[in-house]
Every structure is written in C-alpha cells, then in structure tokens.
Structure 1
Amino acid sequence: MLCCSSSPAMESSEVESDILRRVRTLLRELDGHHPACQPDRGMLRWTLHKKIDQNPSNSPVLVRILVKELERAERGDYRHYIIPLLHTLMYTLIKAPCISDELCSRVYDFCKKLLTLPKPFCSVGLDYAARLKMERTAPGMLYQRMVISEQSLKSDPYPYREKIFIFADPELLSEAICKALLTDTEAARVSQNPRACMCHVITHAVQAALGKDCNLSALRMRLQGMPSSEVEHWFQEVVAAVECTGSEASADRGQHEERLRSIYCTILSSSPPGDAPLEGLQGTPLPNPNISFHLWTEDDQLWKELVLFIRPLSQSCEPDCLSQDLDNFEIQDIISDCECCEQTRFSVLSTDSGIERDLPPAPEEPSAPCSADTEQSRLHRKGGIKKKPSPLESVAFLQTGCNGPGAKPATKGQRRVGVPAEPTAPPLRLHTARIVLLGDDRILGRLAQAYHALRKRETRRVFLTPRLNLQFYYVPVTGQPGTLVAAKPSATTSPEELCEVAAYLGRADPWYESNINALCHMIPKLATMPSSPSKHLVTDVFLTDVIAYYVRMGTQPVCFQVYAMKVFFSNLVQEPAEDVFLTELRAQMQDSVSPREVNPTKKKTILDGPGIDLTVTYRKVVVSDRAKEVPLSLRSTGFSMKAIPANTAQDLACLNVNITEVVKINNLSGRSFSTMTNKLKTCNIKIRSTEQRPFTLCLDKDSRRTYRNVISVEVSPCLEPSYCLQKSRTMKFSLHEAEDVGLVKYMPKSLLLPINTFAGVIQ
C-alpha cells in the first residue's frame, strides 16, 4: 500500500506560489484592472498580512517575493508599484520574528537606489534606509520602538510617546457609525496591557537576535510566572541592550546577539534552553496602538485633548490646587525664559476685588494721616462674582506639564539681580499626536479652523509646539449622513463633491486610494451590519488594523493651503468678520428685491436681469510669478472659489474661481438673458457688491459656517501667525516695511495644513 504525503519542499513551493499570487493580485488592483472587486478594495493588503500573522515562519518568503517584485518594478516602467511594495515589505519586517541579514541587506541596497529618484521616492527610500540600517545592527529595534511609543511604556533610553486621536463630527455621521467606531476603539484596548506589552518586547527582541536558537515557548512560560516588577526589570534590560547597540557606531550584529543571549540565558537559568525541544520561529503579536475616539462637539476640543496628552489632568491634583499654584507662580520667569515670545503677555486672573480697602491689613508702618473727607471720597464697588479658572487655561497647569527632559521646573527661588540665568536645554519633542479625521470635506474645514486657532494660541503662549509632533490623517466616510444633511448649502451637493480632498489624495497616491478611500463606503456598511459574533470579529479586527496601518506607515504629507477670508456686512454697525477655509467658498445672490429698493431710481437695475453687479479685483497668476492686479466689473448670480484642483497636475496653492456672469441678449423678440462662467486662477481676490445688495457665503460646504448680508469679501492665503508676529516686531526696527528682513525671510509665510498619506504626491 502506497502512502501519499507531501514533502516539505512541495509545501514550501505551494506557500510561495500562493503568496506570489496574492502579491500580483495586489499590484493589479493598483492598475484598476479589477472593477468587479472595487467594493473589496483594501481587503487584499489586509488579508495578505493576516495570512502571514497566522504563520509567521512565512515572513521570509513574503520578504523575498517583495524584494524580487521591487527589483522588477525598478527595471520596468512600474514606478507606482514601488512605494506600495516598500510599505508592505517594511510592515512585514517590523512584525517578522526573524529576518536574515542577507534579506535586510538587499532591501537596504534597494532603498539606497531610490535616492537617485525624485520625490517622493527618494524621501521614502531615505526614511526606510535609515530604519533598516538600525534594524540590521540591532534586530527587533523597529518593533521595540513602535510598541514602547504607542503604549507609552516607561523607558529612559527611548522616552517617546504616541497616541492616536480619532475625531468624528456627530452632525456629519450617523449614530450607528459613531457607536461602531467607539466600540472598535474600546475593543482595541484589550491588547494594551503594559505587562503583556513588555513581555512582547522581550520575546520579540530575543527571537529576532537568536533566531531558531530561541526557545520561545519556554521564555514565555518563564515570563508568565514572574512578578510584574521582575518583568519590568528584564524589559528595561532588553531595551537598554537594543538601544545601546543601535546607538554605537562600531557595534555589529554579533555583539547584539551576545548581549541578548546573555539576558536570555539568565531569564531561563532555572530551566536551561537545551532541555526543551525547539519549535522553530513563532510570531509575537503587535499590540494595537493607543487609540481614543472623540465626538467633536466643541471648537477648542482639539487643543484641550492635546494639552491633556502632554500634561494629564490626573497629575495636576485638583483645580483648587492649581489655583493655589497659580498664585505662587512667577510669571516674570516665564516671560524672561521664553526666547521666541519676548513680548508676549500672560494674563493671570486676579483673586482680589481691585478695591484698596478690600486688601488685607498690611504691617504697621508710619503713614501720613488722611482726613475723613478723603476716606469718604474713595470709590466703592459691590462684590462681584469671582470666576473660577479652568485648569486647562492656567499657566501653572501648562508649565507643570513641561517637567520633562530639558524643561524648567514650575517654581523656583528668586533670581538675584545681576546674576545671569543658568542656560536650559530646549524641550524635546517626546510626544507624537496622530489626529485622524473621519468624515467629509466639512470636518476638514473645522480642522483648518482649529489648526489656525491653535497656531495663534501657540504664538501668544508657546506650549505644544516645542514638545509635540502633530500629525494629521484623513479617512473619508460617507453614505450614512448625520443630522446636518437636511441643511446642505446646495441641493446638488453629492457625496462625491463632499469628498474632493479624498479624491485628490487618491489620485495623488494610489496606495491611499486602495487602502483608505475604500473605507469611504465600507465603514457605513460594517456599522449597519446585523449584530452577530462574526460581525464583531470582522469589524473589530479590520477597522482597527487599517487605521493602525495608516498612521504607522503614512509618513508623507500633502500640504494644503489654508485661505483667510475677511467679510464686510451691509450693516455698517456690524464689525467685519474674519475666518479661514480649506476647500471651498461659495456665494449665492439674492434675486428678490426688497420693497424699499423698488423706486424710480432702481428700475434700471431691476431690468438688468437676475443677479447683482459686482466689482472683482484679483491678482492674476502668471508664469513669471509677478503680481498683476486685474479689475473686472460684471453682473453675477453667484460665484465659487475652489482650493482643491481637479487633477494632481494643478497647483494646490491656487484658487480656481468660477463666477457666473449674466449676459444680456437683444433680439427681435425683446431682451433675454443668458449665463456664462468666468474662470479665474488667483491667490488674492476681492469681490464687492456695487449695489449694496447683500449675498450669502458658505465655507467648506458646511451650512453651519454661513455668513449672510455680505456686501464685500476679501480672500488671500492665510499667513502663519508666528510669521505675522515676527514681522511686526521686525518692522518696528526696520525701514524696509515691504520686505522680509532678518529672521522673517527664513520663516514659513503661509499656513499649510499637512495631511499624511503613504507616498505624498506621485507625479
């Protein structure tokens, strides 16, 4: 009787063929050759990584295939394959239990070749080449740093912290979507046990260094039986060993292996590793990052969450203690030590009433006698309501959050006159906040507003900027509208028009189109699926994994110009309003005429047709980039200014203005009217109603941001607040008011909102 069994070589060949088929299918998806599979876009990459997670020993096979495909894409005309393949390869390398130095060397050499290509290939290649150089010397370093920062594990050699903030507008998304996202983020916290994460770091670092010589099962059992204090001790030892190897210029892979082998043998001293059979390479799970979900209900909610991330409220005692600290705090020390805001004023809420007689009695000292008339002539004021300061607004709260490396303590002794202050090191950016926006263009408009307010606040009082690395990410979600859809600015607004930014990013970055734009309609479907165990299994894993993959690998920003707008109203008593927008400004004219306008002098205006007369002055965009003011007078029924171009070849820092002009036509049957669209390209434009008839403005397609009774609007690129502050200081001491001199010429002039993608803009 013959026994048919597959040999290990046949099994290996079948596994390699299956992985190659999956990779080729993934690449064909980038070409858009499978329209039938469009609803499942983004699942191919996820299923590929999940297959490797189920059998981590196949990681070297996938890496080898990806390297071959990268080399094939470089030889042929397949540049749009390179960055997706690189991201897939690096994500596999980070989670792989052990990768040979020969494979890492091939990937490293390929990344160095990318330095000869234009952006974004050279940027991604340089980033990954630097990471691979450390990983080759100290295997396991990329995994270790990712877990330490994402889980905020205490580690002196690598003290960096990261957190993901998901912001969703409840008026743009349905209640089902918000609940589903909240459930998913809460389910992701199951793997965020500090002890378990420290064990993961230890086991992954040891196996990455020792390979098949590591008995991972015995190591895990030994760590499970240890008390938490001992686990933390060995965690610190492993982190110090890996970071030490990575920081040494002369260190090599052999020295790193000896250090980890010593720690490994010491941990298993009670049960030598040779007693138990080796089981080959095993995978170490990568814990979910620290994710918090927020419904964006307050305008300054973003700033508050970032402040609490830097300085948790639980570390600041009670608000009463904060008020007491505020009273004892030396404000002058802040002002003198703040180099970038020498003239900034810090307002402190006074605790006294401001009346002299209410002051506490002073020590007895000789004073001039005062008459009864003088005493009676003093002003008196009734007791007012004393406002209790918010902990987030207090200077003491902010400064006590700066007690990190290089930071200054909140309170100190009096400085002696004439003695120079001790130089202090600048604060380190130890924190990274990854802001993920869920929604359509309207939530990005709110983000532009909040970002502009944050930059203005940081100009007045620098706190977050020197200590926080701020990253923005965007996940489009449509299909299940919230309560705001009934009040759309235009009845013709479609879901595609509400996601113009996502469409632009998808055209610029094919990998963003495949992985992130696929969530636009997938999230509403997953949120409305009937409740079942399998449904929760799919959503909890898929949504969390895709968002984590996006924030981990999306490092290339696309910078969008924020535009400033100044509005003048028909009511002269009303002060002009200033605002910013990111995607669009749209105007609608009033066709009806008020009764007071119907008089003999206005009959000619009424007979001119629909719309109102406008004067337009704009700065024409020319190739030489020289300023050229162009005046224009016309009659219009409306206009729009779009900041997002229709294709990636157009410039992002330019407004596409469309003005609907009313044209009179005289024929035998009488006078008729038609419309035509004037298309302008500009960055600075002023539009004014010559009839003093108002029109309505809507910003970023958001009906909540509507301005009525407007007679004039001025639009220009929004300036960086710190640039404005520095220029105003420079102009006080310079005669060249129109030129940027000194430090101003090296500062960013425009306020740009960076949104991270996987590749940036691929031309």
Structure 2
Amino acid sequence: MAPGVLYQRMVISEQSLKSEPYPYQERVFLFADPDVLSKAVCDALVTDARAAQMYQNPRSCMCYVIIRAMQAALGEDCDVESLQRILQDKPTDELEHCFRQVVAAVECTGSETNAGRGQHAERLEKIYSMVLNSSAAGGSSPEGLQGTPLPNPNISFHLWTDEDQLWKELVLFVRPRSQPCEQDYLSQELDNFEIQDIVSDCDCCEQTRFSVLSNDSGIERDLPATSEELPLPGGTEVEHARLHRKGGIKKRMSPLESMTFLQNSCNGPGAKNSGKLHRKSGSTAVPVPHLHRLYTARIVVLGDDRVLGQLAQAYYSLRKRETRRVFLTPRLNLQFYYIPVVEGQQGTWPTEDHTTPGQMELCELAVYLGRADPWYESNINTLCHMIPKLATMPSSLSKLPVSDPFIIDVIAYYVRLGIQPVYFQVYAVKIFFSNVAQEPAEDVFLTELSAKVQDCKAPKDHIQTKKKTMLEVPGADLAVTYSKVLLSDRKKVVAVLLRSTGLVMKAIPSNEAEDLMCLNVNITEVVKTSNLSGRSFASATNQIRTCNIKIESKEPRTFTVRLDKDFRRTYTNVVGVEVSPCLEPSYCLQKIKTMRFGLHEPENVGLAKYIPKSLLLPINTFAGIIQ
C-alpha cells in the first residue's frame, strides 16, 4: 500500500471530492428528535456542525491531500511551507489538476502489486518539482515533518420530524450525483425515477405491474422495406437474409430478480434459532462479487431508547421500500451509530394513567453496549449527561462564530473507529382493538413493550348500590399463549389464563447471564390472599422467556400499550396483542414466491435459505461484544 493512501482516501470520501480513481463518498447524518432533546441541545449541535464545516472547503481539503502525499513520499525533502504557499496561490483549475495528478499517482502505486517505495517517490517528486517550478519558491525546508490536519467529516444535522425523513435524506444523498461506473440498468432506469415516485408509500408484498402489447416481432426481416434502409457495402444477400434481433423493450428489474442485492444488504446473521446468543458482533454475510457501493451513509442518532424505536421504524420502512423497488441497496452502505443523551428527570408515566410515577430506564440499550464494549462505555456513554451540560454552559467564544468542536470531534472519532456492529432484534407487534370495525394496527419496537389495564369507570348508581363487603378485583383476565425459550432449542407452547394489571416485555437483557435472543416478559399477576381483616389481593410477578407471544383480554376491560417508552406511540382500547420477531421483508417476498409454486415445499427453499429471516438493526461500536 502506498504511503499516505489511507489519509487520501478518507479525506476524498468524507469531503466528497471529485476523484475518478477513488469515487467513493461518505456523509454523516446527525439525527435528533426535537421532542426528546431540548431546544438548547439542538441549537448547540447545529452550531457545532456548522462551525466544523467553516474551514473545510474543497480547496483546503485538496491542499491537505497534496501536502500529505508529498510528505509521506519525500519525507524531509519536502518543503511544506513553500508547497503550502504555492498551492494556496494557485487558481482553482490548476489546483484541481495537481490534485488529480497526486491522487492518480498514489492510487496507481496502491493498485500495482510489485510497486516499490522508490518508484512511488519518483512519481510524486516529478509532480512536486513541477509545482515548485511553477512559482518562485522561497523559504527554507523545515527541520522535521509537519503534521497535516485531518478535517472532520462532512456532518449534516437533521431534526427528526417526519417518518420518512431518513429515506428522503438518503435518496437526496445518492440521487444528485449518480456515478457512470455503476451497473447500466441502474443508471438508465433508476436515475429516471422521480423522487416523488421513489418516496411514495408502498407495501412489501405489492408490486405495480405494467403490460405492454407490441405488434413488432423484433425481426429485422419482417419490417417493411423503405428507401432509407440501404444494403451495407460489401454485404451479400445471404447475410442480409439472416435473422437479426432489434433492441426490444427493456424489462424492469423486479424485486424477485434483485434478491442478490437484498441478500447482501442484510448486514447480519439470521435469527432463525431462538436459542442463540442475543446479539452477535461482526458480519457473516457473503459479499456479492462486482458489487461496489460508492456511497456510505453514517447515521448517528442522539437521544434515549425512544429515538432508537423511531430508528427501528424508519429502518423497517426502508427495507420494505427496497424490497419493492431496489434503489439504495446497490449504491449505499448504511452504518448506524448511537449516542445516548438524557436531560433531567424524564420518562415517568403521566398522572392521568393513575399509576405511581417512577423513573424509567431510558438508556437500556446504551447500558448494554457499555457492558459489551468497555471502550464504548468510556467514550460514548459519558456523553449522556455531558452534552446537555455543554449546551447550557456559557462559552467564552460566544461572540465568535466558531464554537468548541468537542462534540463534533467525539462524533468524528466514533464514526471513524466504530466499525464493529452489534445486532439487535426488531420485534413486530399486531394490536387488536375493542372496536371490531377498527383495523388492527401493525408496528415494530426495539427495546420495550409495556401494557397496563385501563381502569373501569362504573356508573355512580352502580357504585351506590354495590355492596360494601364486595371487593373489586383489580386487573383483567388475560389469556397468554407463548412459545417457551429453552436452551435445548426445543419448541414448547404454553397457554395460561391469569388475572393481571399489566406487563412489560424487555428486548434488552438486564445482565449477561440472560443474554439470549428472546423477550423477557414480566407479567404482574393478581393473587387472592386471606388475612384477619378478610380477603385482599396481592401482586406477584411472573417471568417468562419467549420469542412469540399472544395476549388476549377475556373481559370488556381493555388495556393501554406503549412501545419503546415513547408516549407518542401509545395505543388505547386494546383487547389483544401479538408479538413476534420482525421478518426481513425480502425474506417474506421470497417466501410468498415459493408458496405460489409449491404449497407443500419446506419453509427455507430457494433463495429464502440464503436470506436472513429476521430483521436485525446493527449499531456500530468500537470492539463489538467482548466475550
């Protein structure tokens, strides 16, 4: 590898500099939920992101690449001060020409197997001499190598106010500058799509079909003779009598034919076995040959578990869109990062719920990642309460447009070195309501599902006529059916009927001993007790482990369901809930195709056995899970 090539490639990709030898581009998308974070924190992040970009113009970045390459190749023979002064005085077109020469020389050395360091130094020395000779070089050579700064990556800040905002931002990132070296069918077909058509709502199992009736056989001999079609010189009648195919209508690539791309886009192992460890680090997906994604989007979300639930929703919606119409998958590499941020004492149940307020664990996923990766604990989890303090802290540079880039520096450090993903299971939930006419709601969650039985408000007349000796039994009768998780991986279905006031399903284990890929369900059961004063009722907690669970109320009394501790994702008047691991949309589509041609075929046949069955959300860390 040529000296300085890693620095060159990082600056080119992070700053989106035009380069034919290395056409890759990266961007960091910073997403914050304004309903989770305060206005002061959002304003501080916007200010830091803008301040970090003030001195990162393309001219400066191209100068950094040139100087760094010259220093790495020539060492102390490189006059950095003179080179820097000459490059700054050059017109933009000449600077771009010099930049292209240096990039081509470095990349050429990196691609050659037998290229030596001396040959690489000779190439750059020629460019270096041409640059110095183009202007009067003054000054003396520095005594030692000078450090070339590494600019922070291109970071854009976004307030997460729209459900489809993640998808739209990624489309706008990929769409404006389509590279000609991508596959022809993608360049010719997908680049002609309107963004309104791409962003339109879709269903993973529905596909728009177009029928075209053609009267043209496509055989050139069948066409009527015209005066414009003259025989080729030197040709014979026998050659012209042969059949020649015309260019017919190009068939649009269907989702079923795009399974190769969809398979490679699933960055994690499937969750077909419920007895495996809960989360795995690293990727086991087999890369598809000749598939080069020119764009890399690093999605950084800030907040607590509520914003992670929103991320899981957006990721599931994106995978559904890609299943129907492949657009981002062949071009874009997605990387997810998470920085916990908590402000004040938040996360209590509202008073109208008639429950005892209590502090909720709003950063369970961050705590788990901190236990799995000590480097994540010491570098990222410490920002949880530090970012709000920095946002409200008066700065001595308040009169200047540049703020302290501490937060941006930490984010840049995280996205550059956090390359080990940890995979989390996304769970699908189907919610049934007391109103039969109301359609069941379908949603997903990542960390937690909680349910509380709603209080039954009886009429006043009924309360007055009710006997004082009768005690109203709290809660409601619930029918619970679930598949019990066993270490032996055997399936055991359990059905119980109990009276409960509520339950909590935890997808993130509280300790390492329970690190299984399953839900830890805690059901609060109402138990009758007897004492000297008469009958009373006590509560007991039933703990079960499952991956698939169905809960149904056997009384008119309904309950309230909340997903990922987010009060905005609350469902009322619920009589039934079904929870199971969320299936990968591409797997669902392939399974439907298999069922159409063979109803009695096994579950995993054809391409389905190569596609992960469950949808896993990868969160990047520094070391992954340390066993």
Distance change in 2, residues 1:535/1:730 (3 Å): farther
1:416 corresponds, among 247, 251, 265, to 247
User: What residue is the counterpart of 1:617 in the other structure?
Assistant: 481
Write the mapping of 1:564-583 to structure 2, written as runs, cut at 5 A: 564-583=428-447
Three-state SS of the structure 2 residue aligned to 1:660 is strand
Aligned: 1:149 with 2:13: yes
Distance change in 2, residues 1:330/1:268 (3 Å): closer
Distance change in 2, residues 1:485/1:261 (3 Å): farther
Contact 1:163 1:434 in 2 (8 A): yes
Three-state SS of the structure 2 residue aligned to 1:522 is helix
Contact 1:172 1:481 in 2 (8 A): no
Mapped to 2, the partners of 1:291 and 1:690 lie a distance apart of 52
Deviation at 1:538, TM superposition (A): 9.4
Mapped to 2, the partners of 1:420 and 1:725 lie a distance apart of 20
Deviations along 1:233-253, one digit per CA (max 9) or x if unpaired, are 111111111111111111222
Aligned: 1:302 with 2:159: no
User: What residue is the counterpart of 1:727 in the other structure?
Assistant: 591
Aligned: 1:206 with 2:70: yes
2:359 corresponds, among 494, 497, 500, to 494
Deviation at 1:329, TM superposition (A): 7.0
Deviation at 1:223, TM superposition (A): 1.0
Three-state SS of the structure 1 residue aligned to 2:567 is strand
Distance change in 2, residues 1:544/1:416 (3 Å): same
Amino acid at match of 1:263: I
Write the mapping of 1:490-569 to structure 2, written as runs, cut at 5 A: 492-494=357-359, 497-533=361-397, 540-569=404-433
Three-state SS of the structure 1 residue aligned to 2:514 is coil
User: What residue is the counterpart of 1:687 in the other structure?
Assistant: 551
Contact 1:168 1:439 in 2 (8 A): yes
1:176 corresponds, among 40, 48, 63, to 40
Three-state SS of the structure 1 residue aligned to 2:480 is strand
Contact 2:205 2:324 in 1 (8 A): no
Contact 2:431 2:576 in 1 (8 A): yes
Contact 2:346 2:359 in 1 (8 A): no
Contact 1:175 1:482 in 2 (8 A): no
Bigger drift between 459-468 and 577-586 goes to 459-468
Three-state SS of the structure 2 residue aligned to 1:282 is coil
Distance change in 2, residues 1:725/1:535 (3 Å): farther
Distance change in 2, residues 1:145/1:480 (3 Å): farther
Distance change in 2, residues 1:419/1:656 (3 Å): closer
Deviation at 1:651, TM superposition (A): 2.9
Deviations along 1:599-655, one digit per CA (max 9) or x if unpaired, are 9xx99xx85721111111110011121211011111111100000111244335210
Mapped to 2, the partners of 1:418 and 1:616 lie a distance apart of 55
User: What residue is the counterpart of 1:86 in the other structure?
Assistant: none
Three-state SS of the structure 2 residue aligned to 1:178 is helix
Aligned: 1:243 with 2:107: yes
Deviation at 1:729, TM superposition (A): 0.4
Deviations along 1:688-721, one digit per CA (max 9) or x if unpaired, are 1111321000000000000001111000000000
Deviations along 1:551-601, one digit per CA (max 9) or x if unpaired, are 0110111111000000111111111111000000001112334449969xx
Distance change in 2, residues 1:343/1:415 (3 Å): farther
Aligned: 1:344 with 2:207: yes
TM-score w.r.t. length of structure 2? 0.80
- For structure 2, the residue ranges without an aligned partner over 5 or more in a row are 180-187, 198-203, 212-244, 259-288
Amino acid at match of 2:529: I
Amino acid at match of 1:621: V
User: What residue is the counterpart of 2:542 in the other structure?
Assistant: 678
Deviation at 1:493, TM superposition (A): 4.7
Distance change in 2, residues 1:252/1:480 (3 Å): farther
Deviation at 1:537, TM superposition (A): 9.4
* Aligned residue-pair number: 544
Contact 1:172 1:482 in 2 (8 A): no
Distance change in 2, residues 1:270/1:743 (3 Å): closer
Three-state SS of the structure 1 residue aligned to 2:486 is coil
Distance change in 2, residues 1:697/1:759 (3 Å): same
Bigger drift between 640-649 and 138-147 goes to 640-649
Amino acid at match of 2:13: S
Distance change in 2, residues 1:488/1:559 (3 Å): farther
Mapped to 1, the partners of 2:612 and 2:250 lie a distance apart of 36
User: What residue is the counterpart of 1:429 in the other structure?
Assistant: 293
Mapped to 1, the partners of 2:569 and 2:347 lie a distance apart of 15
RMSD, aligned CA: 3.7
Deviation at 1:313, TM superposition (A): 9.9
User: What residue is the counterpart of 2:29 in the other structure?
Assistant: 165
Mapped to 2, the partners of 1:306 and 1:342 lie a distance apart of 23
Contact 2:345 2:359 in 1 (8 A): no
Deviation at 1:261, TM superposition (A): 1.8
1:756 corresponds, among 601, 617, 620, to 620
Q: Could you say which structure has the higher helix fraction?
A: 1
Three-state SS of the structure 2 residue aligned to 1:704 is coil
Contact 1:658 1:678 in 2 (8 A): yes
Amino acid at match of 2:126: S
Deviation at 1:221, TM superposition (A): 1.4
User: What residue is the counterpart of 1:228 in the other structure?
Assistant: 92
Distance change in 2, residues 1:430/1:139 (3 Å): same
Contact 2:51 2:403 in 1 (8 A): no
Three-state SS of the structure 1 residue aligned to 2:65 is helix
Mapped to 1, the partners of 2:451 and 2:246 lie a distance apart of 58
Amino acid at match of 1:170: P
User: What residue is the counterpart of 2:269 in the other structure?
Assistant: none
Deviations along 1:726-761, one digit per CA (max 9) or x if unpaired, are 110011112434521111011011001111111111
Contact 2:205 2:589 in 1 (8 A): no
User: What residue is the counterpart of 1:474 in the other structure?
Assistant: 338
Contact 1:618 1:631 in 2 (8 A): yes
Aligned: 1:644 with 2:538: no
Distance change in 2, residues 1:158/1:598 (3 Å): farther
Three-state SS of the structure 2 residue aligned to 1:696 is strand
Mapped to 2, the partners of 1:657 and 1:560 lie a distance apart of 17
1:217 corresponds, among 54, 72, 81, to 81
Contact 1:215 1:279 in 2 (8 A): no
Deviations along 1:463-516, one digit per CA (max 9) or x if unpaired, are 111110011111111125899997898764536x00111111111111111111
1:254 corresponds, among 101, 106, 118, to 118
Contact 1:185 1:291 in 2 (8 A): yes
Contact 2:476 2:499 in 1 (8 A): yes
Mapped to 1, the partners of 2:563 and 2:307 lie a distance apart of 11
Three-state SS of the structure 1 residue aligned to 2:414 is helix
User: What residue is the counterpart of 2:306 in the other structure?
Assistant: 442
Deviation at 1:428, TM superposition (A): 3.6
The one of the two structures with greater contact order (alpha-carbon pairs below 8 A, sep at least 6) is 2
User: What residue is the counterpart of 1:700 in the other structure?
Assistant: 564
- For structure 1, the residue ranges without an aligned partner over 5 or more in a row are 1-133, 316-324, 335-340, 349-413
Distance change in 2, residues 1:689/1:758 (3 Å): same
User: What residue is the counterpart of 1:372 in the other structure?
Assistant: none
TM-score w.r.t. length of structure 1? 0.66
Amino acid at match of 1:416: G
Mapped to 1, the partners of 2:137 and 2:78 lie a distance apart of 8
Distance change in 2, residues 1:342/1:614 (3 Å): closer
Contact 2:70 2:124 in 1 (8 A): yes
Mapped to 2, the partners of 1:755 and 1:488 lie a distance apart of 35
Write the mapping of 1:706-721 to structure 2, written as runs, cut at 5 A: 706-721=570-585
Contact 1:529 1:535 in 2 (8 A): no
Deviation at 1:218, TM superposition (A): 1.3
Mapped to 1, the partners of 2:545 and 2:151 lie a distance apart of 48
Deviations along 1:290-335, one digit per CA (max 9) or x if unpaired, are 11111111111111111110113999xxxxxxxxx99x9799xx9x
Distance change in 2, residues 1:249/1:725 (3 Å): same
Mapped to 2, the partners of 1:452 and 1:671 lie a distance apart of 49
Mapped to 2, the partners of 1:415 and 1:491 lie a distance apart of 75
